[in-house]
Amino acid sequence: MRIRFEKRREPSKAMQLLTPIGAVALTMLIGAIIFWAIGYDGPRAVKEIFLTPITASYKWSDVGRRAAPLILIALGLCVGNRAKVWNIGAEGQYLVGALSGAGVANLTRGLEGWWIVPMMLIAGILGGALWAAIPAFLKTRFRVNEILSSLMLVYVALQLLNYLVAGPWKDPNGHNFPQTAPFTPSQMLPHTAFGTPFPPGLFIAFALSLVFWIVMARSEFGLGVRVVGDAPKAARYAGYNADHMVWQAMLISGGMAGLAGILECSSQSGMLNLGFPSGYGFTAIIVSFLGRLHPLGAALAGIVLAITYVGGQVAQTVVHVPNATAGIFQATMLFLILASDVLVRRRIRIDWGRPVAQAAESAA
């Protein structure tokens, strides 16, 4: 018997749309079985994780709050992943973005003006982009693998946060807690926007999904991203430079992560402390793949993953599953999406090949 992977001639559009849904459904099933097997009420845990955040309206605000950074970061990663420039360090860029914005906040303390928040946002974008520029430089100049360098820079960023909030940026009135001084009202965006329970970042994320969609589908740059990822030689032939693409993909994904970071801290937390990093940068990788690297898909997938975050907490209190539950579901989901991706492009063929002895017999 031989098991073979065969390339499909033309992957079906319907399958490409259905597989993410299938992956989510299968994640629920597998999750239920796992938690049942280790002695929890599995079906209930799945219900709390996936349904409660949707059915209970008081959870929507929380879902929106978590969806915003996930979508923003995932939009940037859609560009990078599409071009096969693997930025695994969005978590670090998210942090450095928040830190840069907080730096502007430190400088503008006591000042008033409409310009302060935009300055902070710009600083956040630049900070994230700068952090991502390091792996881009190392990759284009010394051919250092960007997966490793961007990932390692996450830990550098964490140390930077530790140092700043415990040292130079520590709030003098903070009872010696490692945290920055709270932002002043003129350094803050509203907690929720347009009279909805959702944070301003979510609206920005949705607006940017549309922009990214148009850019990726219609612009010369978007065409380049797709060609570089699919066929590097064809990209060179079509006049796209792979190194430029590494730079562009890294700066965009870093900038988006930085924007997510500063939006989170200027509209939600209002300051930085050691609890600020919450893994959005890593989860956004799942979001981008669950959304099939399509900006609109990423917006939807961001909401799904935000639900698992919120639901994980619900399940923790109601079914008493451990804290890591949401993580397990997210990881299962990523695995299943990537597996289904392979199956959309290929099919498994099993040859129940005739044993050789029998073949020889019939030949005789």
Judged by the rule CB under 8 A, the positions of this chain that interact with other proteins are: 9-10, 214, 218-220, 223, 226-227, 230-231, 233-234, 236-239, 241, 353-354, 356, 359-360, 362-363
Q: Under DSSP, is residue 197 helix (H, G, I), strand (E, B) or coil?
A: coil
- Closer by beta carbon to other proteins, 143 or else 354: 354
User: How far is residue 55 CA from its own chain's centroid?
Assistant: 24
- DSSP codes joined into one string, 110-161: T---TTHHHHHHHHHHHHHHHHHHHHHHHHHHH---HHHHHHHHHHHHHHHH
- Closer by beta carbon to other proteins, 29 or else 234: 234
- Closer by beta carbon to other proteins, 109 or else 236: 236
- Closer by beta carbon to other proteins, 190 or else 353: 353
Query: Least distance (Å) from other proteins to the CB of residue 234?
Result: 5
- Closer by beta carbon to other proteins, 275 or else 351: 351
From residue 274, give the alpha-carbon distance in Å to each of 21, 161, 244.
Answer: 36, 7, 35
Calpha distance 28→44 (Å, rounded): 11
Query: Least distance (Å) from other proteins to the CB of residue 1?
Result: 13
Query: Least distance (Å) from other proteins to the CB of residue 223?
Result: 6
- Closer by beta carbon to other proteins, 223 or else 331: 223
Query: Least distance (Å) from other proteins to the CB of residue 361?
Result: 9
From residue 152, give the alpha-carbon distance in Å to each of 37, 77, 188, 211, 252.
Answer: 36, 17, 31, 31, 19
Burial class (CB in 10 A: 0-12, 13-18, 19+), 312: buried
- Closer by beta carbon to other proteins, 169 or else 240: 240
Query: Least distance (Å) from other proteins to the CB of residue 4?
Result: 13
Structure tokens at 252: 């965009």
Which residue is associated with the tokens 């209930």? 44
Rg, the chain, Cα only: 23
Query: Least distance (Å) from other proteins to the CB of residue 237?
Result: 6
Query: Least distance (Å) from other proteins to the CB of residue 322?
Result: 42
Structure tokens at 125: 């974008």
